[in-house]
Chains A and B, each alone.
Chain A
Amino acid sequence: MFSPRSRLATGTVVALTATLGLSACGNKDGEGTAAESCVDTSGDSIKLGFLNSTSGAMAISEQTVRDSLSLAAEEINADGGILGKEIEFVTEDGASDPAIFAEKIDKLLTGDCVAAVFGGWTSASRKAMLPVVEANNGLLFYPVQYEGLEASENIYYTGATTNQQIIPAMDFLASEGVESLFLAGSDYVFPRTANKIIKQYAAELGIEIVGEEYVPLDDDDWTTQVAKIVEADPDFVFNTINGSSNVGFIKAYYEQGLTAETNPIISVSIAEEEAPAMGKDVTGQYAAWNYFQSVESPTNATFIAAFQDKYGAERPTSDPMEAAYTSLYLYKALVEKAESFEVDDINESADGVTFDAPEGTVTIDGDNHHIAKTALIGQINSDNQFDVVWSSESPIEPDPFLEGYDWWDPSAE
């Protein structure tokens, strides 16, 4: 079929490629040398990376985190920086895509040589960044409440883990005398794990789970699932839906005649930012967080004033924004306690580092890198703000693996 000459030429290219390819042989015995840190601490500034999605489906949420990180950096710089060094931040777009998050954090750590990265939103983005930040012995500050069951030496989790949000929400429901509960969530790891915990704790509390429904993350049609809620008529609906899918859920919920009086909803991802965007009057519904804009404290008043001064008086503040803001201040406190930007030094002296955050005083647990936080339940009022109706007596120690809860069995379905 082919002339001998062309066969020869093809053979040459193939042989050439094979030789070149093989010349880059691997190293099978090596332990895998960890990359040397290239962070430059000699100058009078220190580089930090802000990695949030500013494009794609999550941009609308993550932009708010970016805004409060920028605010915190500005404030810290105005106040003399970290260990006297000015923060110089490098921003990257995670593009709502886990693989891009993995690429960009690699770029920030090995290319820009930042001392720490702040960002991530979805669990997928965090899971994607985890191996990269561990391989480079870097630092990541993750500001969003999540499903727990994780503790990396190289990540600080400044949002709530499940025993600071999901479990207190169940305690609240029990205190309200709730007997039946319907679970509605997006189909990904956070709602699945949260509902696994909820089901086991509900059995302990004697609350009956009368239904469990999932819809994919970007799906807006909740009609049939809400019909099942109408039929089950639960005392409460536990909502672990994330993102814009909430709009479709809330729409179907009200259109099928459910109300906050008859079958109230308790949500874990609807905050000040989302409540007015629901397209329905959601007054009277509940949410479980660790921070509300309505929290009354001098530090919160200062935070809100500074934020609205920078971004506009109409902008609300919310839990993830506050957790991101807090994360940068915690980093400053960590570095100043360790008197070093080295990850190992920071980790060594991390235990007990505190910050007087807008949500109240938070304290780092040196073992699991989460922070002690007070749990709050808020009820939405007519201004789309939350009235705090319940709170834990004191900050709850983080327990990401729920080791202190004997009803928890991770291997049970």
Chain B
Amino acid sequence: MRTAVRTFGPLVAIAALAVLLLVVAPAVLSPFRLNNLGKYCCWAIAAVGIGLAWGRGGMLVMGQGVFFGIGGYAMAMHLKLEAAGPEGVPDFMMLYGDGTMPVWWEPFRSGAFTLFAIVALPAVAAAILGYAIFKRRVKGAYFAILTQALAVVFATLLIATIQETGGFNGLNQFTFFFGYNLYDPVNKKMVYSIAAALLIGCLVVVWQLYRSRFGELLVATRDAEERVRFLGHDPANVKLAAFVIAAVMASIGGAMFAPIAGIISPSDVDATASIFLIAGVALGGRALLLGPALGALAVGYGRSSLSESFPDQWTYFLGALFIVVILLFPAGLGSAFGRAAALVPLPRRKETTS
């Protein structure tokens, strides 16, 4: 019985979250709140990837905003072109430039290519980057600083290329999402549902990964990289795979963020935004299955509700909350439940039978 709980307990929890996000939330929340929840889901998707890379893999990825941005901008470019119509050029290129569109925008007219790019671009970028980093055995603080620096570089590049990417203003004013009018509340609900379903999908994927040999190897690499090497595995490959998956998840989150928030700009993908993603993961519990996602949802909700209730002091509250959580629950709020559960003695099966 206990093994069954251990095996399927997480799956039941994921299913419960699915019902909550896909049935209960649309029924009880106003369109505005639902749309906000959609944004939190996008952050949560990225957070699930961070949980894999950081919580299980021990790689503190401080620059996930880059991959969030790749997906977000890829999607936003497509939506921008869809809004401009066939042969049309995005409005900002006429405002800030001479009205000619860079060649590399052209493929994003195609919805199929955009969807492909949302997965392929971050995967290729993370693979090249990760290969260079992990094969050189860069890790720990150096890895964290490197990824953080990437987020800074990425945001600076976006800001400097105003005629190509909209610069500081970013991209917004989308009207259609693959043919669906984004001003229609029914369609907004649909976009939300897609984001929520993708979050559930990502959770199922990491659940399977955590149960697999790869998951075991990843944790082993995190805890004792040298031993894994002596056992004949290349830790670089294990880490690379986790890093690429995390990047793709961040990109998917970003891609859904653009139509839901209605905007993507450098401030959504820069170093600060990357740290907010990390904060959610840390809050929820980085090594737990649902910790990162729930943490990101909570941080998103906290940002919105605290800033509504205390428009002048909310940043202090949020900061204080992080300090308290990290001090009291270094492994995240999720670990608190684990601790509480450990205090309640469960009827144990005899160890010998296993």
Contact = CB atoms under 8 A, between A and B. Distances in A.
Interface residues of A, number: 64
A110 interface: yes
Contact of B308 (A102, A107, A410): A107
B213 A1 contact: yes
Interface stretch (A28-36, A287-295, A342-350): A28-36
Contacts of A128: 169-170, 172, 262-263, 265
Interface stretch (A87-95, A254-262, A298-306): A87-95
A102 B308 CA distance: 14
Contacts of A110: 30-32
CB-CB nearest 5 A-B residue pairs: A21-B197, A32-B183, A20-B22, A26-B190, A32-B181
A17 B194 CA distance: 10
B316 to A, nearest CB: 9
A101 to B, nearest CB: 9
17 contacts: A6-B8, A10-B207, A20-B19, A20-B22, A23-B193, A24-B189, A30-B186, A32-B187, A54-B312, A98-B172, A102-B172, A103-B39, A131-B173, A189-B162, A189-B167, A193-B96, A216-B156
A187 B213 contact: no
Contacts of B196: 21
B204 interface: yes
Nearest to A189: B169
Nearest to A98: B265
A216 B30 CA distance: 39
Nearest to B197: A21
A33 B162 contact: no
A193 B36 CA distance: 33
A174 B257 CA distance: 48
Given A103-B39, A124-B168, A412-B98, A13 B186 contact: no
Contact of A93 (B32, B33, B173, B307): B307
B231 interface: no
A55 interface: yes
Interface string B265-296: 10110000000000000000000000000000
Interface in B1-44: 7-8, 11, 14-15, 18-19, 22-23, 26, 30-33, 35-36, 39
Contacts of A91: 311-312
Nearest to A101: B263
A10 B11 contact: yes
Contacts of B213: 1
A13 B207 CA distance: 12
B250 interface: no
Given A17-B18, A192-B96, A411-B94, A106 B35 contact: yes
Contacts of B179: 28
Contacts of B99: 411
A405 interface: no
A188 B181 CA distance: 30
A123 interface: yes
A249 B304 CA distance: 36
A13 B11 contact: yes
Interface string A262-292: 0000000000000000000000000000000
Contacts of A24: 22, 26, 189-190, 192-193
A55 B315 contact: yes
Interface in A50-77: 54-55
A28 B94 contact: no
Most chain A beta-carbon neighbours within 10 Å: one of B15, B18, B95, B170: B95
Contacts of A192: 96, 162, 167
A130 B193 contact: no
A38 to B, nearest CB: 10
**Size range of the chain B interface in the assembly:** 35 or more
B211 interface: yes
B261 interface: yes
A14 to B, nearest CB: 6
Contacts of B23: 20
B128 interface: no
A188 B211 contact: no
Nearest to A27: B186
A188 B267 CA distance: 13
B159 interface: yes
B159 to A, nearest CB: 6
Interface in A144-169: 149
Contact of B263 (A17, A33, A102, A413): A102
Contacts of B173: 127, 130-131
A100 B200 CA distance: 25
Contact of A188 (B159, B311, B312, B314): B159
Given A20-B193, A97-B267, A187 B32 contact: no
A24 B31 CA distance: 13
B208 interface: yes
Contact of B32 (A97, A107, A216): A107
B103 to A, nearest CB: 18
A413 B168 contact: no
Interface string B165-182: 001111011100001111
B185 interface: yes
Contacts of B168: 122, 124, 187-189, 217
A12 B19 CA distance: 13
A410 B180 contact: no
Most chain B beta-carbon neighbours within 10 Å: one of A12, A16, A104, A130: A16
A27 B11 contact: no
Nearest to A410: B94
Contacts of B264: 99
Given A14-B204, A28-B179, A33-B185, A189 B15 contact: no
Nearest to A124: B169
B159 A217 contact: yes
B160 interface: yes
A2 B22 contact: no
B10 to A, nearest CB: 10
B184 interface: yes
B110 interface: no
B197 A98 contact: no
